[in-house]
Structure 1
Amino acid sequence: MAAVSSLGAGGCGQVFVALGARIVPAPDTTSTTLYLPEWYNSLDACSTAALTFVDDHPALTGVVLQTLDSPDSGPIAVSRVIDAAGDHPGTICRAAFAGRAAQPIYLGADRIREVIADMGAGLSAVRYLIEHRDDVLLVDCTDLGNPADSVL
């Protein structure tokens, strides 16, 4: 619930919660729940399904990714990442804590299909981020705390 609230409070107009391992309630007024039965394949299976859902909504200019099982970085980090992205379709922005890339991550709309294609070819989302690290804009959030880094 904290991560969902942080996304909404940080500036995400729509919040989609991808669930798989178990169904938990998400705030009805601020989010849409996507049940992904393929969650057991991998985190990338969930990410692919969620990104495909977003890609099917062309009015969206980008997506903020935050795994719900990682420490919540808070709404200010979400807001900073969104502001840094500036609605540019080719942008990749990541919160950084003490120089370490973390979450949340913003992918501009032009990046979403690239990530989906890579994951469809058996490559991971993490690999995409590593291969495009020179394109990633790190957004310093060190002053907000130091959430443990996750696989994304």
Structure 2
Amino acid sequence: MQTPTTQHRVVGVLLAAGQGSRYGMPKVLAHRGAWLRSAVAALRGGGCSRVIVVLGAADTAVPDGAEAVYAPDWREGVGASLRAGLAAASGDPDADYAAVHLVDLPDVHADAVARVIAAAAATESGLARAFYGAGPGHPVVLARGHWAAVSRTATGDLGALPYLREHPGLVRRVDCDDLATGVDRDTR
């Protein structure tokens, strides 16, 4: 992997395609779109020059500064959303990193995104993941060289987890519990 510089471009990939069955509605629509707006702002403010919002169960307008991509197989789980988002990011020849984030993390803001991007930029592997206390969370930053392999292993509701577990020595742990709880909201 190439060591990144400030000239590298980061694309935000916001996973927001789910039905939100435990929540009772698609979370992309939660609080009249406030979670969506907050997550897009976190990615943009954290250093992403482009933000891709992956939709599925609900079709909604995305905030200015973001673009929508539809995951036709969203019912398969977050893995399908991640594959759709990385495929869209791959179409950008200038994209070097993807910062993967979830729509149901309303207390994760730009400072956490920026911290994880900086950590990925400081590693040879280009892989970094936010941790909140002892638990892993989001965002997860992936250098472009990992996208194809992550997409091949992203199934069900595991997303990038199989790939990250397969390469634990390459993933930089980034403590962010001083910035947010990182707890996803599964119920109202």
- Tell me what 2:53 maps to: 17
- Tell me what 2:154 maps to: 119
Contact 1:6 1:75 in 2 (8 A): yes
SS at match of 2:178: helix
Q: Aligned-residue CA RMSD in angstroms?
A: 2.1
Question: Which among 173, 181, 184 is matched to residue 138 of structure 1?
Answer: 173
Change (3 A) 1:87 1:50: farther
Q: Which has the higher helix share?
A: 1
Cα distance in 1 for residues equivalent to 2:142 and 2:164 = 10
Change (3 A) 1:32 1:124: closer
SS at match of 1:143: coil
> Which runs of 4 or more aligned residues in structure 1 lie more than 3 Å from their structure 2 counterparts after TM superposition?
87-90
Contact 2:74 2:80 in 1 (8 A): yes
Structure 1 residue 119 displacement after superposition: 3.3
Structure 1 residue 54 displacement after superposition: 1.1
Compare relative contact order (CA 8 Å, sep 6+) and give the higher one, 1 or 2: 2
Contact 2:53 2:68 in 1 (8 A): yes
- Tell me what 1:5 maps to: 41
Cα distance in 2 for residues equivalent to 1:48 and 1:89 = 24
Give the TM-score normalised by the residue count of structure 2.
0.71
Structure 1 gaps, min length 5: none
Contact 2:104 2:184 in 1 (8 A): no
Q: Does 1:33 align with 2:68?
A: yes
Count residues in correspondence.
147
The C-alpha deviation readout for 1:19-54, integer Å capped at 9, x for no partner, is: 0010122113x1111122221122111111111111
Structure 2 gaps, min length 5: 1-36
SS at match of 1:61: strand
SS at match of 1:66: strand
Contact 1:61 1:108 in 2 (8 A): yes
The C-alpha deviation readout for 1:110-141, integer Å capped at 9, x for no partner, is: 11111122238xx8522111111221101111
Contact 1:87 1:108 in 2 (8 A): no
Contact 1:96 1:141 in 2 (8 A): yes
